[in-house]
Structure 1
Amino acid sequence: MTVKACGVDFGTSNSTVGWWRPGQQTLLALEEGKTTLPSVVFFNADEESVAFGRAALAEYLEGYEGRLMRSLKSILGTGLMTGQTEVQGRPLRFLDLLSYFISALKQRAEVSAGRSFEQVVLGRPVFFVDDDAEADRLAERTLGEIARQAGFVDVAFQYEPIAAAFDYESRIQREELVLIVDIGGGTSDFSLLRLSPDRVTKVERLGDILANGGVHIGGTDFDKQLSLRAVMPELGYRTRLRNNAEVPSSYYFNLATWHTINFAYSRKVWSELQGVYADALERDKLDRLFNLISKRAGHWLAIQVEAAKIALSDSDSTLLSLQEIEDGLQHEVLRETFHESIDQLLGNIERTVGGLLQDAQLQAAQVDTLFFTGGSSGVPLLRQRVAAMFPNATVVEGDRYGSIGSGLALDAARRFG
């Protein structure tokens, strides 16, 4: 059976495209033979070109002049959807930026598959925006419009944790009550479903979905909190001015947040910091901040913080190099510091999961399986705290970067054939 539709998992950190074919690999190669394409765009001013994914990160790290944009999905549902930025001296709408990336994703998938795709099932978080139903609907409509601009004719949506459930269901031998725990780059999403090998061919599954929930917390938030707790103090965060007030925190929050890093490079910020510097008590730390901004090294620093977060999954400490900011500068980051920095976020995740059980009118002991997926589900403390809520459940580790895309491809095959 030739399936004409694909599934697209447009992720905050990484994206995949799945095409269901019996007996063959579902996910398509998108870059250098890899099935993931980092959700990154680099506008190379030196070469007057645009790069995506790993190539974009490589050009940025090689020192080319230009503009790096990451965590593109985080724009959806925010005020930035109607805003614009400046790239190579020209205005660029954030919506057009998203369109560039989705178009590149589609084109790469079609080259890999050797065919065109007109139908798509797009993954979406349970909530693009917390506690704002209208903004959430607008975000979905906007993403749908962008997909159509990229060339898709028929566009459907599926919750990302449900897509992951479909992927898991394709391999089980008996009926299970499953909690899908999808911790992505920008959101944490959860679904409680009854899965069974007898139901895998059904298109309509509403009766099997007991509850959905989500919260706007993900891996980029873990990066942000680690940066603010362990790194930004080395650049003057929370240091004092002569009047005993703190150095304004907005500069550091922008630099610690992937999709707002470029805001720190404006002339207005540079001018404001001159005045702050005159009254600062720890100017040596602000010197580092000035070096970071003058070199436009915010994304470089964010990459170092992300690498430190990953390293702390396996080690009690890691050494973070700040060489780009100051010669010879290094900073030891402890796993304990990381855990402290994300404690409140994990508490919010636990409350969201608890609310899911209440919505489904179930007890934790009734859940058979915890299925973890999403790149940020690799944080051991997160898995431990969620698993502790379900002591009787079997823990299953899914493909962190591929389960959703594979499930969306299965869903696309059922819907569009």
Structure 2
Amino acid sequence: MTYSTFAGFDFGTSNCAFGLYQDQRPVLASLPAHGRYLPSTLFAPTREVISGWLYQQLQPVGLGQAYSIHRQPHIQRSLLALKEAQLDGYGGELYFGQQAFAAYMDDPLDCYYVKSPKSFLGASGLTERHQQQFEDIIAATMWHIRSQVAQHTQCWPEQVVIGRPVNFQGVNSQQSNIQAVQILTQAAKFAGFKQIEFLYEPLAAGLTYQATLTQAKRVLVVDIGGGTSDISMMEMGPEYDQKFDHERLVLGYSGKRLGGNDFDIALNLLALMPQLGMNQTLASGQPMPHKIYHDAASVNNLPAQSDFYARQTSQLLAQLKDDMQPHFWQRLSHLQQEQLTQRLNRSAEQTKITLAEQTHYVCSLDYIEASLSVPISVAQLVEASHKLTDTLAQLIEEVIQQAGHQPDVLFLTGGSAQSPIIRDYLKTRFVGIEQVSGDNFGSVTEGLTRWAKQIYAH
């Protein structure tokens, strides 16, 4: 089999995928340890070991020196931390995807676990060192994926098109977007990519659908991923397939930091956090502070997670011990002391997924308290999602106003676009207009790969 030297790379909030041309057709590369999709998670014994691990991977293939220029003197400290971790029995390895989550589950208290690093990109208040740490996390993930692709295909693509949302964050979006693209670009360079371009994810998804068309249509692309929602209206048709400037065919687009993670957080706050005392009245007659629960639930917000695990929160919980009902206090304290916020969010996510196929689900929280479980209904999921679907509706209306036209067809892609709640809303809003579902996770990757061929194979 012959594989291309160019690639499309969907570095997603929920999953990562890598596309190549194989014998003149775009395919998602198989990652031997993971399949076609790698969940966007990383596990390390400590945060300090990541740059040392990455340096050890890059050095044998001639990429270590370029990386070390940007990371001195951090590399030496990191290599020392890595050696100490090995002496402590951790083996000195980073884990990715499901393997990372399994390692985190083994010992959530004594590790460094990151889910959805993309969701942190563009956040305000990041210091230079924070940006470097995210570059290292993303570069380590990109290197792992690139190595997995090479293991399967025996080739090392150096030209890549990386997908990006319209907006990474909702606040100071222009500055946030610049910061996020800079981090992704630097990480990709560290991982060995020599030519790097970006394409909006809804445009990439649109290119995948365009390849199926036999006549021109106005297509509303609804791309709802784990961390962002991107909406675009595009002129599509078979005669447009070879046009290089596809952005000129975009009639309107908008995007927001809103995705599957936000639905998980909303359900967590509505259905799970009350089991830990949220919305309760304290013995003093004062309401229980909400911030502590929002910080705990916001697993895609680095400052919020830092606040929840900070000493000040431990002190606050100590002050509240005699003011809260004992079982609520014990559950909330256990969540903080054992650092279980990621696992609680995972429970919310699993509940959301299950409720897409059934009307009720009993969510087990036995890792918080023995035999603790919470019955949750579809009606609660709808209630939790109300504000989020309203925001999605505003994005869609904004794009339609920009375009000045109603769509001929809706193309839905992204893991969250297939939610019954979202599909029901779209059916109500666009009565009689065809809905087409793309590959939930693969449409963007395929489109990025097609675009890579357009710009690199000429």
Query: The TM-score by the shorter chain falls in which range?
Result: over 0.9
**Counterpart residue number, 1:293:** 336
**Counterpart residue number, 2:448:** 408
Decide which moves more: 149-158 or 251-260: 251-260
Question: CA–CA distance in 2 between the matches of 1:158 and 1:14?
Answer: 17
Query: Deviation at 1:156?
Result: 0.7
Q: Kindly indicate whether the alpha-carbon contact (under 8 Å) linking 2:214 and 2:237 is maintained by their aligned counterparts in 1.
A: yes
Query: Deviation at 1:141?
Result: 2.3
> What secondary structure sits across from 1:104 in the alignment?
helix
The one-character-per-residue Cα deviations of 1:204-245 (angstroms, maximum 9, x if unpaired) are 223321111112110000000000000001001122234433
**Counterpart residue number, 1:384:** 424
Query: Deviation at 1:25?
Result: 5.7
Query: Deviation at 1:175?
Result: 1.5
Query: Deviation at 1:84?
Result: 6.0
Aligned match of 1:59 in 76, 98, 103? 103
Are 2:82 and 1:37 aligned? no
Q: Structure 2-normalised TM-score?
A: 0.84
Q: Kindly indicate whether the alpha-carbon contact (under 8 Å) linking 2:26 and 2:446 is maintained by their aligned counterparts in 1.
A: no
The one-character-per-residue Cα deviations of 1:322-369 (angstroms, maximum 9, x if unpaired) are 11111111110111011001101100100110010111111x3xx121
Question: CA–CA distance in 2 between the matches of 1:189 and 1:42?
Answer: 29
Are 2:410 and 1:370 aligned? yes
Are 2:381 and 1:338 aligned? yes
**Counterpart residue number, 1:116:** 156
Question: CA–CA distance in 2 between the matches of 1:111 and 1:328?
Answer: 44
Q: Which amino acid aligns with 1:360?
A: A
**Counterpart residue number, 1:247:** 288
Q: How does 1:265-344 map to 2 (within 5 A)?
A: 265-280=309-324, 282-344=325-387
Q: Kindly indicate whether the alpha-carbon contact (under 8 Å) linking 1:81 and 1:95 is maintained by their aligned counterparts in 2.
A: no
Query: Deviation at 1:308?
Result: 0.3
Q: Kindly indicate whether the alpha-carbon contact (under 8 Å) linking 1:80 and 1:94 is maintained by their aligned counterparts in 2.
A: no
The percent identity for this pair of structures is 30
Query: Deviation at 1:407?
Result: 0.6
Q: How many residues align?
A: 408
Structure 1's unaligned 5+ residue stretches are: 86-90
Question: CA–CA distance in 2 between the matches of 1:296 and 1:105?
Answer: 28
Structure 2's unaligned 5+ residue stretches are: 46-84
Question: CA–CA distance in 2 between the matches of 1:331 and 1:349?
Answer: 28
- Kindly tell me: are residues 10 and 273 of structure 1, through their superposed partners in 2, closer, same or farther at Cα, counting changes over 3 Å? same
**Counterpart residue number, 1:88:** none
Q: Kindly indicate whether the alpha-carbon contact (under 8 Å) linking 1:211 and 1:359 is maintained by their aligned counterparts in 2.
A: yes
**Counterpart residue number, 2:390:** 347
Query: Deviation at 1:136?
Result: 1.9
Query: Deviation at 1:382?
Result: 0.8
Q: Which amino acid aligns with 1:292?
A: L
Question: CA–CA distance in 1 between the matches of 2:286 and 2:148?
Answer: 51
Q: Structure 1-normalised TM-score?
A: 0.92
Aligned match of 1:201 in 225, 242, 245? 242
Decide which moves more: 293-302 or 173-182: 293-302
**Counterpart residue number, 1:8:** 9
Question: CA–CA distance in 1 between the matches of 2:160 and 2:217?
Answer: 28
Question: CA–CA distance in 2 between the matches of 1:104 and 1:308?
Answer: 30
**Counterpart residue number, 2:121:** 76
The one-character-per-residue Cα deviations of 1:235-275 (angstroms, maximum 9, x if unpaired) are 01122234433222222112212234853333332222111
Query: Deviation at 1:276?
Result: 2.1
Q: Which amino acid aligns with 1:72?
A: P
